[in-house]
Amino acid sequence: MSFSLIPRGVYPAVTHISPKALAEKGVRLVLADLDNTLVPYRVTEPSRAVRQWRDALAAEGIALFLLSNSRKPGRPHSFAQKLDIPCIGHAGKPKREGFFRAMERMGVTPDQTVMVGDQIFTDVLGANRSGVTPLLVKPIRLAGNPGRYIRYAVETPFRLLGRWRPFV
């Protein structure tokens, strides 16, 4: 398992990641972060675009699974229920345990799994440490927490390097 902060591609949004291209690479499971990846912070309903992306994944035989570090009680599970997908909240990313629990639950291996997230130090690092392919998306919205601006600024070199390594 690798200690790498470099993603396999940087995408404008989850909906720019082609389910067909993922299926052609042998992907059977997409682990997805919640906040700033699928929806902005505090948004409780999946958008039509996210629902359509989930349906397109399913049509290719790929399961979508919510893997969130959210500390808000019930938020990840409530959102996952609205999308009718499985979920692990308080996943502890970048620790590997949440990734392995999700893959075991879905009966897949790391080489059949990708992680889609907006953060280098949780989503990308955790995926790389678990042998899962990390796909990075632009954060939906940075507004609100000044710490996010600092964190994303520190992540900039890794985001730039990731652009040269697209997976799909």
Homologous superfamily, domain 10-162: HAD superfamily/HAD-like (3.40.50.1000)
Q: Tell me the pLDDT tens digit for each residue of 91-124.
A: 999 999 999 999 999 999 999 999 999 999 999 9
Q: Tell me the pLDDT tens digit for each residue of 36-86.
A: 899 988 889 999 999 999 999 999 999 999 999 988 878 999 999 999 999
**This prediction's pTM:** 0.93
Residue linked to tokens 């040269």 = 164
The C-alpha atoms of residue 91 and residue 99 are separated, in whole angstroms, by: 8
Sequence ranges of the domains in the chain: 10-162
